Amino acid sequence: MAGTKRYDVVVLGGGVNGTGVARDCAMRGLSVLLLEKGDLASGASGASSGMIHGGIRYMLSDRAVTELACRDAGFIRRIAPHLVFRIPFLMPFASQREAATLAERASWYATEVYVGTYDLYQPLKGGKPSTRLSAEEMYALEPSLRPGLHGAVTLDEWGIDGQRLCLSNALSAEAHGAEVRTWTEATRIVREGGRAVGVGWRDVLGGEHGEARAGVIYNATGAWSPEWGRGNGVAVTMRPGKGVHLSLDRRFSNFGIICKAVDGRQMFLMPHEEESIIGTTDDDYYGDPDDLEATADEVAYLLEGVESVVPSIRRARVTRAWAGVRTTLYEYGPTEDALSREHELVDHAAEGAAGLYSLVGGKLASYRAQSEEVSDRFMQVLGRGLVPCRTHEEPLPGGDEVPDVQELAARHGVAAGAVARLVYRQGSLARDVLRLTEEDPRLKLVVCRDEGLIAAEVVWIARHEKVRRLQDLRRRCRLGLAGCGGLDCARLAAQLTAHELGWDAERLRAELHDLLEVSWRDRRPVLDGWQLAQEELLRAVHRGLGGL
Amino acid sequence: MAGAVAALAARESGERVVLARRAPGATGLSGGAISVAHDPAAIATTPWAARAGVVESARRIAATVPGHPYDVLRDRLDRLWNAVEFATGQLSGLLAPPTGRNRWLLTPFGRAHPVATCQESMVAGDLAEVRGVLAVVAPRGHLWWDAGLVASGAVRARPLGAPEVRVVPLDLFMWEDAALARPFDLARMLEAPGAAEQVGAMLRERLPRFAAAALFPPVLGLDPAARVAERVSAAAGVPVAEFLSDLPSVPGLRLQRALEARLAEAGVDVLVGDVHDATGPGAPARVGGREVAAASWVLASGRYVGGGIARRGALLEPVLGLPVLASEGAFAEADARLAARAPGALTVRDSRAAQPLLAAGLKVDPELHPLDAEGRVIHDRLFAAGAVVGGHDQASDGTGMGVAIFTGWLAGRAAARAVPA
């Protein structure tokens, strides 16, 4: 038992809201402990669409959400310029007939006006204004679209690696004095006289346990909140919604494409980092968030929706299906899509747990503003006076500068393609990563050709990025997620990580098996076409030869 | 492998044989050794010496895994050994003669893996035969392999009959650019005159006491004629072997090349290209633009890697459109609905469990005729061999090459017999 320690704030949950608040509070001088029962970003933050979009969908119902999202997207670009990339979208005008009806033309005009209104918010996030494209212009830009469309409007959005965003916030929080413990669960609330005064915790890997006391306990466990609350005598109500995405083995289209699903819902196909993503479903979810898997009907629904405008999607190689659970504010009646993306901080004082707060709702794009609002409240509760928020000014680790890729590649003799990906993930820290190859040139070895991952980055990640399990590398550098499914990279990355973390051969094999097992669960619902040949090879190597 | 063995077996019967193929198949991607069967009755603590031999192991699999090709062929398993000897005989420069028991070879993942036979360059690494200390070489110039991990497979298998192991770091692959080379390039580097001898001399200096053999990464030359293992061994004064390879696989490529050379030598006509307009034996088909007519056909097009079975929304056999009916586990009985089931319904969450989707293929009778959904022979001069036959997870159940060789040999001979006089 590690004994009892005192903090100002204990944060539960290592998603974007938990790490965002940990960073903000630590930067304002509070002592902070963050507990995450799995790895950082292993819930909804890591399974989001990977966009800091302005929320054009919410403009009709929640214009405040749109404005907040756009403003905050601008700030995120400022503090993490390396992690953010432009995704231009096309919203094609489709008609079921050859000649569009008057009603259809009217609705396209309405769309144009609607997107035009969104343009008013674009300057906040540094997005480009929309353009109306003729059919000819549209097909020149995106030949994969089906014939017979009547042009499109464009829409500018930002993509981001949500998993590295969480990591960056956690690392920044630590740099400001916070303590971040992953694979550590909060076992119970400690109550004294109507107050929640602390939590018990247990390291799920090492078994170490202890107690943390704090003036404020912040429950940012997302979809795990209701169950955690029930176990601790407080109620957290929400409408959890399951969202499924599919990944393709390559960038399938030049632009993001907005499509309509069979039930009229909006969905998309978009290039994202080195792959393309199809998303998303939104369905009420009453299951266990630890037991989330995409189903055959969700996969079919997503592919059918994209097929309506990009017929060649049926020949694409789907590499995996992944799912997360959104937490939206509770309302009885509305359909999932109509639910507000607003957020709310729930105070549990009336349930005899003063000092305990839970976050419900919110979105990735606004995480920083949400964290600021929550931290303001905590400063007030703790009576710590006015210390202004600086999370929109101080860059996240590596975000102070984006180094020149060609120059770094030439200086270190590493392929520019790999350096580009390294700079994307690490920003200015890429210089430090490459310095490792000066001492040991073997570290220039390419571990994953799909992701442009070199051995030096794996070593860097193992040393500096809070890696406790091999599967954490899925979220640090997408290990085993690309087309190869770990065929090329898993063993080598495991060897490098084991060397850094002092794992013996048995632990290495156990970690490798665990990584392959979680990756298998993503691929299982989508095994088709050439992905099956890849699966056969993977199985021959890992099961057949490796006995894993 | 199945196609090559079938072609060679039919050729031996004196027939004219055409081998039509799209591309080299899964053999070149293998670890480079031949697994046929290991004892399903053995538990983890059963010493190797107490385990069943290769053929008896196949019989036990036939008795315990319904629908496995060894089960379908259970009354013919007395010929399994003839098939294995035929195949190893055809590749005699490369493969060591099989002994009837399994050899235990280490893999890059730190596991002892049972094989019925292996390449000559691997024999000295048979854990069941090393009498003394096995030195596992750790090349200091390259990160691809972890000698400690490799050696751990022998440490764990000590109670089963494995020798004592010692990791020996060597200044190997220290020359410029070797650190970033892929395994094929490293193998080529060791073929150079003097290179293998230099490695052997280095090893001699560092050999632990009582060293009975030394184990290297599987890059001891791409061309067997360069005799890299022998040269290293002569210079080091100790038998030298490679461990098995994952991908990319130098030994796998050696095996594929040896097959190609043997096919050419035996006078098998190899045609490369996609197969079009195939309807079955007797009628002509087009292969890479050429028209081919044959009295008997052996379909040995592999599973998903080979392209013999595919899934495009549903499971199918692309060359002749035969029904995909066979699998394992809950789908061991011929099932016409198998092909249309969703991937999630044909797999289970635990990756170590049997996965019917990865064991799917054609259903055959004991003469290796593909069967239709009603269990009828589709054509009496059409045979199937290797991974295109379903009912076994050939990639991982340790019988893949054995099934390829056995069914290839049987089908090749049967196809030759079926040719009208």
- The string of pLDDT tens digits covering residues B155-185 is 999 999 999 999 999 999 998 789 999 999 9
Cis omega (within 30 of 0) for bond into B248: yes
Tokens matching residue B58: 């196949």
Q: What is the pLDDT of residue A96?
A: 66
SS3 per residue for A243-289: EEEEEECCCCCCCEEEEECCCCCEEEEEEECCEEEEECCCEECCCCH
Chain B residues touching A314 at Cβ < 8 A: 313
* Spatial contact of A381 and A354, defined as CB atoms under 8 Å apart: no
List the domain boundaries for chain A. 4-45+163-238+341-381, 405-545
Q: What is the pLDDT of residue A339?
A: 78
Q: What is the pLDDT of residue A516?
A: 95
Chain B nearest C-alpha distance from A51 (Å): 29
DSSP class of residue A545 equals I
Tell me whether residues A544 and B310 touch, CB distance under 8 A: no
Domain B2-31+55-87+253-418 has CATH 3.50.50.60: yes
* B108 part of contact set with chain A, CB < 8 Å: yes
* Cα–Cα distance for residue pair A73/A214, rounded to 1 Å: 32
Select the residue of A527, A536, A545 nearest B343 (Cβ to Cβ): A527
* Cα–Cα distance for residue pair B273/A529, rounded to 1 Å: 20
Mean pLDDT of A271-297: 93
* Cα–Cα distance for residue pair B10/A439, rounded to 1 Å: 59
DSSP class of residue B158 equals G
Residues with Cβ within 8 Å of residue A147, at least 6 apart in sequence: none
Q: Which one-letter amino acid corresponds to residue A340?
A: S
Model confidence at A51: pLDDT above 70: yes
Tell me whether residues A545 and B142 touch, CB distance under 8 A: no
> Please, which residues bridge with residue A171 across strands?
none
> By CB neighbour count within 10 A (0-12 exposed, 13-18 middle, 19+ buried), where does A439 fall?
exposed
- Mean predicted lDDT score pLDDT of chain A: 94
Determine which of A532, A542, A548 to mutate to test the interface with B (most B C-beta atoms within 10 Å). A532
SS3 state of residue B297: strand
Chain B nearest C-alpha distance from A494 (Å): 10
| E strand or H helix that includes residue B137 | strand B133-139
How distant, in Å, are the alpha carbons of A161, A529, B58, B174, B391 from that of B339?
38, 13, 28, 52, 14
Chain B nearest C-alpha distance from A26 (Å): 40
> By CB neighbour count within 10 A (0-12 exposed, 13-18 middle, 19+ buried), where does B104 fall?
buried
Residue B289's φ and ψ, nearest 5 degrees, are: 90, -15
CB B149: neighbour CB atoms within 10 A?
Answer: 25
* Cα–Cα distance for residue pair A389/B183, rounded to 1 Å: 53
User: A198-224 as b/e, with b when 16 or more CB fall inside 10 Å?
Assistant: bbbbbbeeeeeebbbbbbbbbbbbbbb
Rounded CA Rg of chain A: 23
Q: Say what percent of chain A tops pLDDT 90.
A: 82
Tell me whether residues B343 and A512 touch, CB distance under 8 A: no
Residues of chain B under the 70 pLDDT cut: 334
Tell me whether residues A525 and B304 touch, CB distance under 8 A: no
Which single residue is written with the structure tokens 């069914």? Answer: B407
Q: Where in chain B are all domains bearing CATH 3.40.50?
A: 119-243
Tokens matching residue A127: 């997005």
Domain B119-243 has CATH 3.40.50: yes
* Cα–Cα distance for residue pair A221/A45, rounded to 1 Å: 11
Band (pLDDT 50/70/90 cuts) for residue A1 is low
CA atoms within 13 A on the CB side of A87: 30
Residue A418's φ and ψ, nearest 5 degrees, are: -70, -40
ipTM: 0.97
Rounded CA Rg of chain B: 22
Tell me whether residues B344 and A296 touch, CB distance under 8 A: yes
What pTM was estimated for this model as a whole? Answer: 0.96
Residue A27's φ and ψ, nearest 5 degrees, are: -65, -25
Model confidence at A97: pLDDT above 80: no
Chain B residues touching A529 at Cβ < 8 A: 310-312
Architecture field, domain A4-45+163-238+341-381: 3-Layer(bba) Sandwich (3.50)
Q: Where in chain B are all domains bearing CATH 3.50.50.60?
A: 2-31+55-87+253-418
Give the pLDDT confidence of A376-386 residue by residue, as tens digits: 999 999 999 88
Band (pLDDT 50/70/90 cuts) for residue A480 is very high
Tell me whether residues A509 and B110 touch, CB distance under 8 A: yes
Q: What is the pLDDT of residue B20?
A: 95
* Cα–Cα distance for residue pair A319/A247, rounded to 1 Å: 6
Chain B residue closest to A507 (CA)? B149
| E strand or H helix that includes residue B185 | helix B183-191
Select the residue of A495, A525, A529 nearest B149 (Cβ to Cβ): A495
* Spatial contact of A412 and A434, defined as CB atoms under 8 Å apart: yes
- DSSP code string of A216-239: EEEE--GGGHHHHHHHTT-----E
Q: Which one-letter amino acid corresponds to residue A23?
A: R
Q: What is the pLDDT of residue A300?
A: 94
Tokens matching residue A382: 């703790």
Q: What is the pLDDT of residue B334?
A: 65
SS3 state of residue A47: helix
Query: Could you tell me whether strands A179-181 and A132-133 are parallel, antiparallel, or unpaired per DSSP bridges?
Result: unpaired
Tell me whether residues A491 and B313 touch, CB distance under 8 A: no
Q: What is the pLDDT of residue B264?
A: 97
DSSP class of residue B318 equals T
> By CB neighbour count within 10 A (0-12 exposed, 13-18 middle, 19+ buried), where does B199 fall?
buried
Q: What is the pLDDT of residue A525?
A: 95
Q: What is the pLDDT of residue A53?
A: 81
> By CB neighbour count within 10 A (0-12 exposed, 13-18 middle, 19+ buried), where does B353 fall?
exposed
Q: What is the pLDDT of residue A60?
A: 72
* Spatial contact of B405 and B88, defined as CB atoms under 8 Å apart: no
Mean pLDDT of A87-91: 95
Cis omega (within 30 of 0) for bond into A319: no
Residues with Cβ within 8 Å of residue A258, at least 6 apart in sequence: A89, A90, A91, A92, A155, A266, A267, A268
Tell me whether residues B149 and A505 touch, CB distance under 8 A: yes
DSSP class of residue A115 equals H
Residues with Cβ within 8 Å of residue A103, at least 6 apart in sequence: none
Tell me whether residues B396 and A508 touch, CB distance under 8 A: no
SS3 state of residue B409: helix
Model confidence at A114: pLDDT above 90: no
Determine which of A318, A542, A545, A548 to mutate to test the interface with B (most B C-beta atoms within 10 Å). A545
User: A309-336 as b/e, with b when 16 or more CB fall inside 10 Å?
Assistant: bbeebeebbbbbbbbbbbbbbeeeeeeb
> By CB neighbour count within 10 A (0-12 exposed, 13-18 middle, 19+ buried), where does B67 fall?
buried
How distant, in Å, are the alpha carbons of A98, A101, A146, A147 from that of A136?
16, 20, 13, 11
Chain A residues touching B351 at Cβ < 8 A: 516-517, 520, 543
Model confidence at A98: pLDDT above 70: no
CB A389: neighbour CB atoms within 10 A?
Answer: 18
Q: Of chain B residues 342-361, which have a CB less than 8 A from chain A? A: 342-345, 347, 349-352, 355, 357-358
Select the residue of B109, B303, B358 nearest A545 (Cβ to Cβ): B109
